[in-house]
Amino acid sequence: MKKRTHAVRADLCFLGILVLLFVGEAFLAADYGNRIFNTIILCFVILLFMFTYFSNIRTGLILDTVYVFGLLAYTISQSLQKGIEVGPNVYFWLLWPVIMNTAITGYVWHNKSLDKENESMRNRLEHFVTIDEDTQMNNLLAYERDARVYMHISERYHMELVLILWKLRLQPQLERVAGNKNMPEIAGLISDAMKKSLRSEDLVYLVEKEPYVWGVLLFTNPDAADVVCQRVEKEVGGLNLQKYTQQKSLALEMVSAIVSYSGDEKTPLAFLDEARKVLNTAAEGKREKPDRRIRKKKEDKQKEITVNSAEGDDFDMDISDNDDWDI
C-alpha cells in the first residue's frame, strides 16, 4: 500500500511539473517585452532546478530561500534607486520557480522512496529464492532447508548421513582459459554431469560460487560415498569443453570431501563448515581416502526401530548398513 502511495504521488508531482512548464512557456510568450530580464532569470532558475534534482530536499530548500531573497533584494534596490515599478513578471519569477522546485523535490523524493522499497523487496525475495540465477541449480538456501530434514531423519532413525563436497582443482586457470563469462555455463555442464552419476532423487547443491563448490546429501556410508565421488569425478573429467577453451586435451579435475554427520553439528551450516574444512585440506593435496568421522552415538549395525505411524499404530523397521542405501 505504501509503495502504491509513493507511485501515485510521484505521478502527481510529474504531472504538476508538466503543467508548470506549460504555464512558464505561456508566460514567456506573453511577456515578450521583458524577454532579456526573463531569459536571465530563467537561466538561474534552470540551474536551481538542476541542483535540486541531483541533490536532496534540504539543498533544494536552501537554494529556494537564497533565490527568493536574492530576487527580492535586487527588485527592491532597483525600485528604490531607479524608481522602476515592480511588474507582474517579478511576482511570477518569485512564485513559479518555488512551486516548480517543490514539485521537482516531491517527484525526486517519492522516486527515491520507491527505489528503497524495491531494493528491500528484492532483498527479501532473494532470501526466499532457492535456485541460483546463473546456473539454475539449488543454492545454499535450498541446502539449508533440505539439510535440516536430512539431519532430523538421521537422528531419529539412526541412519548414516554423509555430505559430499566437490570443487574444481584449477578453477582460476580454467577461468583464464575459458573466460569468466563462460564459467556459469561450464558450472551448469558440471552439474548436469554430476546428476547423471547420481540417483534421480539425489539433489545437487551449489553451496558456493567463488569458487564453485557443489554438495550432495546422501543416506549412506563413507565407503559407498567414495564410490559416488569416483563416479562423479570420472563423468566430469570426460566433459568436452573445447567450445569454451579451444583446447582438445583439457580435462577437468575435481577435489572432493566426504564428511559423516556425527550429531554434534546443530545446524546445516555447521555441518557444511566441517565439510569445507575437509575440502580445503583435500585441495592442498590429492585425497586418498574419504573422511571417516562417524556418528559418536552410533549403535550396532543391525537396529530395530519403532516408528509411530500417522494413524497412531506402531510398526517395526529393520535397517542395516548394507540394505537399500547403497549407491
Task: Kindly tell me the number of DSSP H helices and DSSP E strands found in the chain.
Answer: 10, 6
Please tell me whether residues 147 and 273 are part of one structural domain: yes
Same domain for 217 and 295: yes
CATH number at residue 187: 3.30.70.270
Per DSSP, helices labelled H in 129-260 are 140-157, 171-178, 183-196, 222-237, 242-245
Would 223 be classed as within a structural domain?
yes
pLDDT of 303 over the 50 cut: no
Tell me which of 56 and 235 has the higher pLDDT: 235
Query: When comparing pLDDT for 309 and 72, which is higher?
Result: 72
Asked which of 72, 103, 126 is the last residue of a domain, the reply is 126
CA distance 43 to 46: 5
Asked if residue 157 and residue 48 are part of one domain, the reply reads no
- Under the banding of pLDDT at 50, 70 and 90, the label for residue 213 is very high
My answer on whether 157 and 111 are in the same domain is: no
Q: How far apart are CA 247 and CA 177, in angstroms?
A: 9
If you average pLDDT over residues 313-324, what whole number do you get? Answer: 39
What's the pLDDT at 249? 66
Strand duo 212-218 + 162-168: pairing: antiparallel
- Lowest mean pLDDT of 81-85, 96-100, 124-128, name the range: 124-128
Q: Which residue has the higher pLDDT, 3 or 224?
A: 224
Of residues 40 and 161, more confidence is placed in 161
Report pLDDT for 10. 87
Nearest by Cα to 233 from 215, 212, 256, 249: 256
| Domain, as residue range, for 188 | 140-319
- What is the number of structural domains in the chain? 2
272 in Cβ contact with 251 (< 8 Å): no
* 290-325 residues labelled b (16+ CB within 10 A) or e (exposed): bbebebeeeeeeeeeeeeeeeeeeeeeeebebeeee
pLDDT band at 3 (very low <50, low <70, confident <90, very high): low
**202 and 291 share a domain?**
yes
Is 285 found in the same domain as 258?
A: yes
**Which stretches does DSSP call E strand in 170-327?**
204-209, 212-218, 254-260, 303-308, 314-319
Q: Is residue 291 part of a domain?
A: yes
Residues 164 and 269 in one domain: yes
Determine the Cα–Cα distance for residues 231 and 216; give it in Å rounded to an integer.
14
